[in-house]
């Protein structure tokens, strides 16, 4: 069911500062910032030869990333995103096995313009999982 690791997402308190670290200090190829109001975040992608790192900054106090940063003010790993061929089939298989899908269970459009779902971290060894249809 799982395909490639699409990205590892890091919550950051200051997106511009995080971009400078990855671009200027580490010499990485970093995308332009993208605002995703539906998800309550601004994001950039650090493009690597084998995957991406997504840097997430909250758009406001109601963002799920704001709540994460209240618990971890310096930031940290927020989720891992895996690719799947058919997101609804993956959802149905996972829910029939007892996994919980966050939100209303319907895919939303993610940062890459593709359908995404998030899976409850308590069902996956304490890690929030994002599935992205490719």
- Give the Cα separation of 105 and 5 in Å (integer): 21
Q: What is the torsion angle, in degrees rounded to the nearest 10, for the CA atoms of residue 98, residue 115, residue 8 and residue 58?
A: -100
Q: Are 19 and 44 in contact (CB under 8 A)?
A: yes
Q: And the tokens for 126? A: 């304490």
Active site residue 130: yes
Distances in Å between the Cα of 79 and the Cα atoms of 24, 25, 54, 96 are 24, 24, 9, 23
Q: Are 30 and 46 in contact (CB under 8 A)?
A: yes
Q: Are 99 and 123 in contact (CB under 8 A)?
A: yes
Residue whose structure tokens are 């895919």: 107
- Exactly one of 54, 57, 83, 130 is catalytic; which is it? 130
Which residues are the active-site residues?
130
């Amino acid at each position: 069911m799982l395909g490639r690791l699409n990205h590892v997402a890091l919550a950051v308190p200051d997106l511009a500062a995080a971009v400078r670290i990855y671009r200027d200090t580490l010499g990485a190829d970093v995308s332009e910032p993208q605002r995703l109001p539906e998800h309550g975040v601004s994001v950039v992608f650090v493009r690597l030869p084998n995957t991406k790192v997504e840097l997430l900054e909250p758009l406001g106090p109601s963002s799920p990333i704001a709540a994460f940063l209240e618990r971890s003010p310096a930031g940290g790993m927020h989720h891992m995103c895996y690719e799947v061929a058919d997101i609804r089939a993956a959802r149905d298989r996972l829910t029939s096995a007892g996994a919980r899908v966050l939100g209303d269970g319907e895919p939303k459009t993610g940062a890459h313009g593709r359908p995404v779902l998030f899976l409850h971290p308590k069902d996956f060894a304490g890690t929030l999982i994002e599935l992205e249809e490719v």
